[in-house]
C-alpha cells in the first residue's frame, strides 16, 4: 500500500498534499515506471480522506503525464518521469517542516527587525486602495529607473529636514532596500583588486556584497563612538570608505563631528568616496538626531537610506543619493538590474 502522510493542520489542501507526494516519489524514482498505484477507493480508505481527493490528485498526475491509466487494469506510473538528482530540498516533507517551524509567537533573535505589529496596516491599505483605483494608467507601465518623481521630491524635503541631507530630487535613485543600493554602489565604483575601507565589525552580508566584485576589504576597528578614524591608512588608495556613522552596526556608536571631519579630510586627500549607510537613524534612545555625513560634503558622499526599519523590511524600499557625476551611470545600472522599483508601492509610500 502507498503510505502518504497527510497533515490536516497545514494550509495546504489535501488534494495538493497527495498530488505533490506522489509526484515527488515518481520524480525521484521511489515509484518506478509501470508500478501499479492503489485504486482510488483503496487509497482513500487507507488515508482516511474522501475518494474525490484521490480522484482529483490522480487526474492531475494523469494530465501532467506522471501516470497512465490502462482500461480495466488500473493506474500505473508512466515511463520516462524519473529525474536523476532531483533536489530533496523541494520535497513536500521539507516544506511541511518549514511551515510547521514558523510560529507567530516565536521570539526572533535576529537584530534589526522593527516592531512588525506596529506597521500602519489600515493607513497602508487605505492608501493602496486610493492609489490602485485612482492613479492614471500610465503609472502601470514601465517607469524610469530612478523611481517616481513624487517620492523623490518628498524624500529630498524629508531628508533635508530630518537628516540635514543636501540633495536635489534628481540625485535620488529609489532602490529595493538599502541592500540593492549597496549592490549598485559596488557595480558603480568597484573593480577587481580595488580596496574598500570598512568598519570592523560589520555584517557579513555587506562584506559579501563588496567582495563579490573582487575588491579587497580593509577593516578599521570600531569603539563606542564608531570607526576609529585615526587608523585610516594613507597608502591604500581606497575607492571608498563604507560607514554607518549615525548608528554603527552592530555596536551602536554615533560618530562625533571630529571623526566625521577627519573622514571628509581623508576622502579629499586620497580622492576616494565615502558611502554612508543611514539605515535606521530615525530611532534613538535619547538626544537630537545626529546629522548626516552627506550634508558636510555632498560631492564626496553617497548616502544610503531604507524604509525597512521605520516601516517594514517586506516593502523592499530604500534609496541611494549620489553626487552629480555618478547619477547617469547609476540609473543605467539600476535599469539593467531590475528596470525600476515597483511604481505603485512608491506612490503609496
Ligand X SMILES: Cc1ncc(COP(=O)(O)O)c(C=O)c1O
Give the interface with ligand X as residue ranges (CB under 6 A).
112, 177-179, 203, 244, 249, 277, 279, 306, 308, 313, 318
Cell numbers for 253: 556608536
Residue with cell 491599505: 125
Nearer to ligand X, 130 or 212 (CB): 212
3-state secondary structure of 91: coil
Buried/exposed code over 83-119 (b: 16+ C-beta within 10 A; e: otherwise): eeeeeeeebbeeebeeeeeeeeeeeeeeeeebeeeee
Minimum distance from CB of 168 to ligand X (Å)?
Answer: 23
Minimum distance from CB of 328 to ligand X (Å)?
Answer: 24
Minimum distance from CB of 175 to ligand X (Å)?
Answer: 8
Cell numbers for 68: 497512465
Nearer to ligand X, 178 or 190 (CB): 178
Nearer to ligand X, 148 or 309 (CB): 309
Minimum distance from CB of 275 to ligand X (Å)?
Answer: 11
- C-beta nearest to ligand X: residue: 177
Nearer to ligand X, 44 or 306 (CB): 306
Minimum distance from CB of 279 to ligand X (Å)?
Answer: 3
Nearer to ligand X, 65 or 112 (CB): 112
Interacting residues of 142 by C-beta distance below 8 A, sequence separation 6+: 339, 340
Nearer to ligand X, 210 or 279 (CB): 279
Cell numbers for 6: 497527510
The phi, psi pair for 117, rounded to 5°, reads -75, -10
The phi, psi pair for 320, rounded to 5°, reads -130, 130
Minimum distance from CB of 177 to ligand X (Å)?
Answer: 3
Instruction: List the beta strands (DSSP E) in the chain.
Output: 67-70, 74-77, 172-175, 195-200, 216-223, 226-227, 240-243, 273-277, 301-306, 318-321
Amino acid at each position: 500500500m502507498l503510505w502518504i502522510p497527510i497533515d490536516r493542520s497545514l494550509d495546504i489542501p489535501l488534494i495538493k498534499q497527495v498530488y505533490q507526494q506522489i509526484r515527488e516519489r515518481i520524480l525521484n524514482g521511489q515509484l518506478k515506471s509501470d508500478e501499479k498505484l492503489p485504486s482510488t477507493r483503496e487509497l482513500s480508505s487507507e488515508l482516511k480522506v474522501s475518494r474525490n481527493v484521490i480522484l482529483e490528485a490522480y487526474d492531475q498526475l494523469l494530465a501532467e503525464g506522471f501516470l497512465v491509466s490502462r482500461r480495466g487494469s488500473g493506474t500505473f506510473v508512466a515511463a520516462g518521469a524519473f529525474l536523476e538528482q532531483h533536489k530533496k530540498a523541494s520535497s513536500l516533507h521539507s516544506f511541511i517542516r518549514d511551515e510547521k517551524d514558523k510560529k507567530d509567537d516565536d521570539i526572533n533573535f535576529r537584530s534589526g527587525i522593527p516592531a512588525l505589529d506596529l506597521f500602519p496596516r489600515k493607513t497602508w491599505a487605505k492608501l493602496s486602495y486610493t492609489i490602485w483605483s485612482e492613479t492614471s494608467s500610465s503609472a502601470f507601465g514601465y517607469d524610469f529607473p530612478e523611481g517616481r518623481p513624487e517620492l523623490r521630491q518628498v524624500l529630498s524635503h524629508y531628508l533635508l529636514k530630518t537628516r540635514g541631507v543636501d540633495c536635489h530630487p534628481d540625485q535620488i535613485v529609489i532602490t529595493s532596500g538599502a541592500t540593492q543600493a549597496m549592490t549598485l554602489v559596488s557595480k558603480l565604483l568597484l573593480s577587481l583588486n580595488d580596496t574598500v575601507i570598512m568598519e570592523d565589525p560589520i555584517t557579513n552580508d555587506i562584506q559579501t556584497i563588496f567582495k563579490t566584485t573582487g575588491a579587497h576589504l580593509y577593516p578599521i576597528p570600531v569603539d563606542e563612538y564608531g570607526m576609529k578614524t585615526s587608523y585610516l591608512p594613507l597608502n591604500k588608495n581606497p575607492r571608498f570608505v563604507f560607514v554607518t556613522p549615525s548608528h554603527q552596526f552592530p555596536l551602536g556608536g554615533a560618530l562625533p563631528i571630529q571623526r566625521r571631519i577627519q573622514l571628509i579630510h581623508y576622502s579629499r586627500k586620497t580622492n576616494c568616496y565615502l558611502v554612508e549607510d543611514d539605515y535606521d537613524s530615525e530611532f534613538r534612545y535619547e538626544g537630537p538626531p545626529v546629522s548626516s555625513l552627506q550634508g558636510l560634503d555632498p560631492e564626496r558622499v553617497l548616502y544610503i537610506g531604507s524604509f525597512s526599519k521605520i516601516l517594514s523590511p517586506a516593502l523592499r524600499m530604500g534609496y541611494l543619493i549620489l553626487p552629480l557625476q555618478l547619477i547617469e551611470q547609476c540609473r543605467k545600472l539600476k535599469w539593467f538590474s531590475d528596470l525600476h522599483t515597483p511604481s505603485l508601492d512608491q506612490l503609496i509610500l
